[in-house]
Each structure stands twice: as structure tokens, then as C-alpha cells.
Amino acid sequence: MKNLPKRAELPQEQTWNLEALFPSPAAWQAALEEAAHSTKEIEAFAGRLAESPQTLLAALETYQSRLLAAMKVFQYASLQLATEGTNPEFIRMVAEARGMLARLAAAGAYLEPELLCLKPEQLEAFMEAEPALALYRHYFDGLLARKPHVRSPEVEAVLAEVSDPLGAHSATASAATNADMQFRPVAFQGESLPVSHSSIGELLVHPSPEVRKAAWESYADGHLAFKNTLAATLQGSIKSFAFQARVRGYPSSLDMALAEGRGCGNRIPRVVFENLLQTFQAHLPIWHRFWRLRKKALGGRLYSHDVPIYDAPAPLVPSPKVGFWEAAEIICRGMEPLGKTYVEPMRRGLFEERWVDWGQNQGKRAGAFSSGLKGTFPYIFMSWSDDLYSLSTLAHELGHSMHSYFARQTQPVIYTNYSLFVAEVASNFNQAMVRSLLLREAQTPEQKLAVLEEAFANFHRYLFVMPTLARFELELYQRVEAGGALTAPFLIERLCELFAEGYGGEVELDKERLGAGWMHFSHLYNPFYVYQYATGIAAANALAQQVLEEGEPAAQRYLDFLKAGDSVYPLEALQIAGIDMTRPEPLERGFAVLASMVNELEKLLG
């Protein structure tokens, strides 16, 4: 492994096409200033929403269009910072864009309180008089459902203004993790292998056990050096959300997260969250059996560094080499059951429009994500290694991007987002479809085992790590809401205990480094996000089975689900595709898929 190149040294084909957003930094700066001035246009409608249907329509359209333009400004800055976390210019740009967004939100804070002052019959009359307003019916319905939790215009304005400082905990954690954190390199055969956020995934599946162990320890120790800082930022983030839940009159932070979400709201019943935790704990014996098999295959001992909670377990067989362009072709073939309507735009994004930033460079942050807005490409961020794990990550993020693509092609601005609850369905669906192709085409037991290893890495993350983090997160919020404090020693000890339960005594624990795992997940700064990975993978595998077994009818239902965006509530969107997440059955099916793969693993190892 060579030293990582600087950002400017990467070939253009390995970077995303941000010029499609803004052709130059000067163009971005001009858009930032224009977005800042748009607050006056939004404020001009304050106190006037009841004047006429046309005034209400103009206010909503003005706010939506100006917010979209402002979000585009923030997106450009945040995407730049993701690729160079130490660049002071990008840090400045993100800070200025975030502040501008907060001011814009404050300028429009009167909208929802004023709308709630309109009686339902008056809103209905407005929609009849101005047909274009009927577009907002679902939005109005979601708003009325949240009426008990919407405060006065003055309070809403204050909450919007403080969103920037309240959100600073995440920014502080990101700066500490992505800009200030240092990792000692790993020595191997006379070389010094650099450890970084973008290279750690490759090191953890290195053929040498010594390299894997040293890389895991280096990465954990780099985080532990910031344990007190990161404990304080996580506690601040949780307190901020708990404060907002109290101000809005919710019984708990969990209730607020389940009800509101992003866009037009979630309306997720609490039973969905409870079903997940109960079903996960009931099926821990499947995971215990899996660890026993891996321990036996690895010579009778299994260590914490063999099963890193933020990445793939140590491989039983090496992954075949897969380059980016080959992987892109495989993914396109895997998604062919959805037809040209799906595959052709995805192919353009991969091979022509440069949606994906996949090169490794100095300062690039950890992880992978999809990000976009109506009128922009659905960009993908990742760091590529030539293996099946990177292929799987690319398939996952393409699931997000194609979900966004169809929602933005089909829906108006207000409905182009979608709940995080359904987001993880689309991403895991792609992985399940591509994995099915790879298993069908595997010609030897070794090839099949390599594909299963990728599958286990996926299920390990979403149906083991994420439910464990969901249990952990719930306890943290309950502790803070009861007046307790979060310290680094407590966080480390409690997370280690929860994973020890999941390992069932089959893994030899490095408690301090394992317990430091909460520092690896920025997801915890997004309240009650992690549980949705687990519900998502369960629904995704059920949908993939339907498409592969039924063909075109199931494929069309799935495409209709993608196109729905935020025009319906998330559980209703899944019902379009044929999944009912209010019952444990989809979760049970997800664990049944896992159990069948464990059975197959036992045969291959035997």
C-alpha cells in the first residue's frame, strides 16, 4: 500500500462532478450571498397566509424554491469538506452555509404556526379555490398531526435560530475525528502502511492477521485519544435533541424521532422500534452459532479485531480482486430485473456523469453516503478498495441514489425527500439483488464462500451492529432524560457489555478498544437513525425475493415505491411495495435469510 495521494493528484475519473453544481468557487460564493438575501422574500409573507389561496401558494412556493437553492449551496460546501477534512477553506464554507441555512429557517419559522391557525375547512376551501394548493394536501395532513407539538411563531423562530449552535456538537466531533485524529502506521514486510479513515477498511481484510490486528488497534487508539472530547460532544448532541423534544411536548426523544423524522413526518408506531429490539434479542443464538463457526474456521480463537464493529469481519477466504469499472458492470447486471427504466440512468451516472467520488486521498473522511437534491446529481461518496466489500458499498449507495433519482424525477420539491426509515430499504435491496447474481454465477466453493463473506459483512453491520447500537442509543437517551451524565468510561463499558452479549462468549474481548466503538459512528448524532438500518435490511431482502420470484409485477411495485418519495408516510410507501413493517414478520424473514446463510457456511466449511 502506497502513501495516499493528495486530493489534487487524483485522476478526474475517480472524483465526482461538482462542477455540475457550481462551475467555480466564485459562483458558489455568489449563490451563498443570494441565498442569504432570500430571507427577505420569505419574511414578506409573514402574517399574510390567510389573505387568499394565491398568497398562501406564493408563500409556500417561495419558501420551497429558496430553501432548495440554499441547500444546493450547503451541499457543495459539505461535499468538498468530505473529500478534504483539513482544508480550512472548506471548513469556512460549511460553517457559512450552515449559518445561512439556520437564518433562512428562522425567516420561515412563521409558516407552520400560521398554517395551523387556519381551520381545516378554510384550508379545504383554499385548495378548492386554487387547485395548485392541492399539491400540499399530504404536507398539510402531516402538519395537522403535529399540531400539538408546533409552538408559537416566536418560539419556532428561536428554535430555528438555535439549530445552528445546537448542531455544533456533530461538527465538533467531525472536526476531531476527520481533521485532528492521527493513527500510527502499520509495519509490514519492510513497508509502513498508513492507517486512515479511507484505508482502514482495506487493512482490516488484509491477508496478514498481524496487519489486521495492528490496524484495528491503531484505529481504536486514535479514537481513544479523543474519548473525553467525543463523550462530551455526544452528550451535548443528545441533550440538544432531548431539549427539543421537551419544548415540543413529546413524552421522550424516541417519540419525537418516531413521529417527526424529516420531510412530512414519519408516523412510525413505537411498536416498530420495540419489535426490532425484541426480535433481535430473540435471534441472538443465530449470531452465537455464526461466531462459533468463524472461531473454528480461524483456528479456535476469535478476537475483537477479527470482528470490527465498523467494518467487515476478518475474511475466511480472500476477496477476489474487483476494480471499480468491473464492479459497476456487475451492479448494472444485478439490477436488470428492474428493467431499463432503472438500469439506464444508473449506468449514465456511473460511466458518463461522474456521480461517484471513489478515489482514496489524504484528508478524505470515513464512510460512504449518497447526497443530492432535486436538479442535482445524486452524488456518491466512498473510498474504493479492489474487493467485493467495495462493490457491495457501491451497490448500497447506488440504491440510495436511485431512490433519490426516481423521487426527484417524479415528485415536486416538497416531496422529493423521503424518510430515513425507507432509505435503508432501497440501499440494502440493491445489495441483495447483486449478491443473488454473484451467488448464481459462483463456479467454485471458494467463490461462493467469498460472496457469502460479503453477505455476512452486510448482515453483521445491519442486523447485528445496528440493533446493538439501537439498544445502546435508547439507554443513552433514557439516562440523559432522567438527569444522568454520559462519560467516556461509562460509554465504553456499556457498549462492550452489549456486544459481549451478542458474541455469546465466542469472542475474546479487548474491552477498552471494543467499547470505544461508539466513536466510530457519526450516525449517533442523528437521533434514532441506527435502528432503521435493521428494519431496512429486513424489508429489502423480502422485496428482493419478491422481485426475483415474481418478476415484472413485483419490479413495478418496487419502482412505484421509489417514486413515491415523501408523498406518503414511510409505512404506506412500503405497503405500496408489499411490505408491512408494523408486524415482526419482515424481521423474522430477515433473520431466516441470515440463518440459511449460516447453514450454507457450515456446509462449505465442513
Cα angle for residues 218, 221, 226 (degrees, 5° grid) = 140
- Cα dihedral value 295, 296, 297, 303, nearest 10: 20
Task: List for the chain the helix, strand, coil content (%; round to 5).
Answer: 70, 5, 30
Burial (0-12, 13-18, 19+ Cβ within 10 Å), 320: middle
Map 504-539 to HEC letters: CCCCECCHHHHHHHHHHCHHHHCCCCCHHHHHHHHH
Residue 361, all three cell numbers: 486521498
* C-alpha count within 13 angstroms, C-beta hemisphere, residue 211: 21
**397 carries an active-site annotation:** yes
DSSP labels, 245-281? HHHTT-SSHHHHHHHT-STT-----HHHHHHHHHHHH
- Whether residue 407 contacts residue 415, with contact meaning beta carbons closer than 8 Å, is answered with yes
Q: Say which of 156, 217, 397, 506 is annotated catalytic.
A: 397
- By residue count, the chain amounts to 606
Q: Beta strand pairing status for 356-357 and 191-193?
A: unpaired
Q: Among residues 596, 431, 459, which one has the least CA distance to residue 534?
A: 459
- Whether residue 250 contacts residue 265, with contact meaning beta carbons closer than 8 Å, is answered with no
- Whether residue 104 contacts residue 66, with contact meaning beta carbons closer than 8 Å, is answered with yes
- Whether residue 149 contacts residue 253, with contact meaning beta carbons closer than 8 Å, is answered with no
Residue type, 439: L
Catalogue the active-site residues: 397
